[in-house]
Amino acid sequence: MKTSCWIRGCAAGALLLGSGCAMFRASTKEVDVTQTRHMRSTYDYTDLRQLSDAVVSELLGSAFLARQTEPPVMMIAGVQNRTERHEDMKNLTDRIRNQVFQSGKIRFVNEARRDDLLKEQGYSAANATPETQVAIGRQLGARFMLTGSLTEMAQTSPRQVRVSKQKVNYYKLTVEVTDVENAEIVWMTEREFAREASQPLIGW
């Protein structure tokens, strides 16, 4: 009996070695980013896409935008990261700006490149011919400013006899548009979600 078990074990080992131990080899594959996919309880790229899509949809359908007689000029001052993790909020605002820009309903100034624009204007004034010079002092001034914040709250199961630990992460994204002329908030939205993860006490 023991001999038979030993033989079967050897055969199984040989089969694994013969196949190159595929389960231990590194591999890659394409992932459909449009599908909901969470591998942890914290903010991830699926949340970025879903949050930005929701904000864009609500902004483009808002009464604030419907009141504008022509596409307003807007700047994006940024979304504050008020979570405990490093999250690139520019990814979020870039996606919001791109989708809104494609709609043609809002115009944007490139606030992140103002210093570069001023340098180029100075170079043009000093070195370009009168026919090719750009006019200085003709930059658009933004009438509205988009800002916001992403906050986080985490809750972990208390100490007790268990084989896994539960953790819930709650996130809230707030986005607002302010009239630069009078500092009035003319539009605001809030999106929230929570996700629970179970972590085994033994594992890696």
Asked if 164 contacts 200 with a C-beta cutoff of 8 angstroms, the reply is yes
Interatomic CA distance for residues 68 and 66, integer angstroms? 6
Confidence of residue 201 (pLDDT cuts 50, 70, 90): low
What is the average per-residue pLDDT within 118-133?
55
Q: Which is more confident, 45 or 149?
A: 149
pLDDT at residue 123 greater than cutoff 90: no
pLDDT of residue 117: 53
Paired tokens of 43: 């903010």
Interatomic CA distance for residues 37 and 47, integer angstroms? 9
pLDDT of residue 155: 79
pLDDT averaged over every residue in the chain:
79
pLDDT at residue 102 greater than cutoff 90: yes
Question: What are the distances in angstroms from CA 23 to CA 26, 29, 52, 99?
Answer: 8, 15, 37, 41
pLDDT digits 0-9 by tens, 153-185 = 987 766 655 556 788 899 999 999 999 999 999
Q: Where in the chain are the domains?
A: 35-200
Question: What Rg, from alpha-carbon coordinates, does the chain have?
Answer: 27
- CATH number at 35-200: 3.40.50.10610
